[in-house]
Structure 1
Amino acid sequence: MTTQWEHHDISTLVSRLFRALDAREFAEGWADGYFTDDVRTTTPVGAAEGADAVRHTEVAIGRFARTQHMASDVVVDVGGDGDAATASWNALMVHIHHDSTLRERGEGASPLFTVGGVHDAELRRTPGGWRISRMDVRAVWTTGEPPVLSG
């Protein structure tokens, strides 16, 4: 059974992760507060593991001038031993293109690329608290043009 404290801790982890992404808090070791060393991620632009997953996240965020990630309806289920959990949440992810992207796309290009999606995650309890060991991001809908993926 999931306690209110476990739900709070995991929901707070999700909120802090989204805030860190939007603030671009990518100092050395930043991901240690959110992910296990062997994290596996799957997003609409690919899959990655471990350090590659962290770099993939940093590169994805860097494709935009600014972002705003919002999570809601976090559902948490802690397993029987209390050291593993699953979580799922809805997300609204707003991305603002770089001026250079807008210039390349020409007059009338939308500055926004917005995604409504669902995140499904597996988490492990560590000495430092809950950490995400797997995270799948599934886009349900989008508006605007996605980022330029080359280069």
Structure 2
Amino acid sequence: MNEMTGTTGLRDHFEIATLISGFFRTMDERRYDGGWPGAYFTDDLRTTTPLGVAEGADAVRHVEEATARFAATLHISSDVLVQAGPGARTAHASWNAHMTHVHLDSTLRARGEGANPLFTVGGIYEGDFRRTDSGWRISRMSVRAVWTRGEPPVLPEETAVRVTELTGAQASG
């Protein structure tokens, strides 16, 4: 149950929801300048995605590499639920996401004429947040696909092997 009450709790909810929206916008616009990770993540970030678990700088690289597999992406977040007591230093949040990915021309050529240019995912994110001197930052984040439409990206062989090992499912490689 959400323990948020009063103005402080509403401000925390607003700040965390805004952080999530900003993170998605940064990904979609690919504004990966040198300072972008610190605007959204703690140094000990841990991510869990269908491609595996990553920590710290590797988790940040994982985000950048994931979007680079597509010509364009659009992530939409909604229904952000935050659990944090007033004045809390940590919080937990979950949110829905609709993620649209436009395949690279090279992916479409490899798949042949009539290949679907889109890979769309409906998923649920969960995250832990830590209040820092600079505001709330994501310290742990996971995404779980609820549904997909279209084919995932063509993955480098080593990534496809890792996905198969982690999930038991054959990855597109």
TM-score band by shorter chain is over 0.9
| RMSD (Å), alpha carbons | 1.1
Distance 2:85 2:156 in 1: 41
Q: Compute the displacement of 1:148 (Å).
A: 1.1
Choose the corresponding residue for 1:125, options 131, 136, 148.
Answer: 131
Q: How do 1:31-110 residues align onto structure 2 when only pairs under 5 Å count?
A: 31-79=37-85, 82-110=88-116
Matched letter for residue 68 of structure 1: L
Matched letter for residue 140 of structure 2: R
Higher radius of gyration, 1 or 2: 2
Q: How do 1:2-17 residues align onto structure 2 when only pairs under 5 Å count?
A: 2=4, 3-17=9-23
Distance 2:20 2:67 in 1: 16
Matched letter for residue 149 of structure 2: T
Aligned sequence identity (%): 60
Distance 1:80 1:24 in 2: 34
Give the 3-state SS of the residue equivalent to 2:88 in structure 1.
coil
Matched letter for residue 87 of structure 1: A
Q: Compute the displacement of 1:106 (Å).
A: 0.1
Runs of 5+ unmatched residues, structure 2: 158-173
Deviations 1:12-52 (A, max 9, x none): 00000000000001011211000000000000111100000
Which of structure 1's runs of 4+ aligned residues deviate more than 4 A? none
TM-score by length of 1: 0.97
Matched letter for residue 39 of structure 2: G
Q: Are positions 1:144 and 2:155 aligned together?
A: no
Runs of 5+ unmatched residues, structure 1: none
Q: Which residue is equivalent to 2:162?
A: none
52 and 83 in structure 1: CA distance in 2 versus 1, 3 angstrom threshold: same
Give the 3-state SS of the residue equivalent to 1:118 in structure 2.
strand
**Where is the strand percentage greater, Structure 1 or Structure 2?**
1
Q: Are positions 1:23 and 2:29 aligned together?
A: yes
**Where is the helix percentage greater, Structure 1 or Structure 2?**
2
Moved more, 106-115 or 76-85: 76-85
